[in-house]
A and B are shown apart, each in its own frame.
Chain A
Amino acid sequence: MYKSWWKILAVVLLVYTFTAGILIEVPRNPQLQETIRNLFFHVCMWFGMMILFIISVVHAIKYLRNGKHVHDIASRQYAGVGILFGLLGYITGAIWMSYTWVDSNKSFYDSFDSIAREPKLIGAAIALLVYAAYLVLRDSINDMDKKARVSAVYNIFAFAMLFPSIWIIPRLLPSLHPGGSEGNPALNFRDSSMNMKLVFYPAIAGWTLVGVWIATLKIRWRLLYEQKLMK
């Protein structure tokens, strides 16, 4: 294991998240109750996804500038882990909303049609599908250089699509999800208390570092694999 200090930091931060995240005093909100603690898990998945996608697009631009194959591999693997985090965020969000958003007089399935119209859900689904198309596009081109160049360009487009789909449009439309017109979800002052922020920011760092760790493992594995193919 090389350069392992930040891996240890990631584990320490996650242990802190898992213990303090359950034990600290949280605001008593009639709608959320204890589920407000999902802030340390569900929301961090989305933050991790955004940071991993940013790293991915930086590598894509680097590849287009200097044509080094390592950047192409890095860009692909960071995007892959970013999609994984996004899917986890989506699934955890689905579990969370099925307890807090549904009409308590109806079953989950009966109130699903109103939930399915949530702009936040549709936007996140669009963003994830755009990135899924990135993987499909990559695998459909056989020529290695063309594959790398086309997918780097598409990666920049996919990153640009994040702006309207998850950052702009969900803020313009009314939604049950917190952080519509009143500011950024989870970051504004009414969504959480001061001591929740003491866990929330380390949690984002911990989850993101674990994502980076997985991505670096995949990059190193991929480099070994391609060395083997070249021989």
Chain B
Amino acid sequence: MKKMFSITALLFLTIITTAQDIEMADGMKANGKIYVVIAVMLTILAGLVLYLVRLDRKISKLEKINN
């Protein structure tokens, strides 16, 4: 019984420690540099959306001329 208990305890311990061993971008979040990535991604998104909006406006204008 005692052996069983210690084995399960060991098992849980390894699971917990391996969970912490998994490398994630914790450092990037700790020093805030992850926001740089978000800034870049949002800039690209903004560029693409602006392009779509301009295209939309142009097509609307053409539709107005045609009708």
Interface set of A (CB-CB < 8 Å, partner B) = 1-2, 7, 11, 14-15, 18-19, 22-23, 28-30, 33-34, 210, 213-214, 217, 220-221, 224, 227
Contacts and interface: CB of A to CB of B under 8 A. Distances in A.
Interface residues of B, number: 25
B52 A214 contact: yes
Contacts of A220: 59, 63
Contacts of B62: 224
A19 B63 CA distance: 36
Given A22-B38, A217-B56, A224-B62, A34 B24 contact: yes
Nearest to A37: B25
A15 B66 CA distance: 35
Interface of B: 18-20, 22-25, 29, 34, 37-38, 41-42, 45, 49, 52-53, 55-57, 59-60, 62-63, 66
Contacts of B25: 34
B38 A1 contact: no
A181 B59 CA distance: 47
A1 B63 contact: no
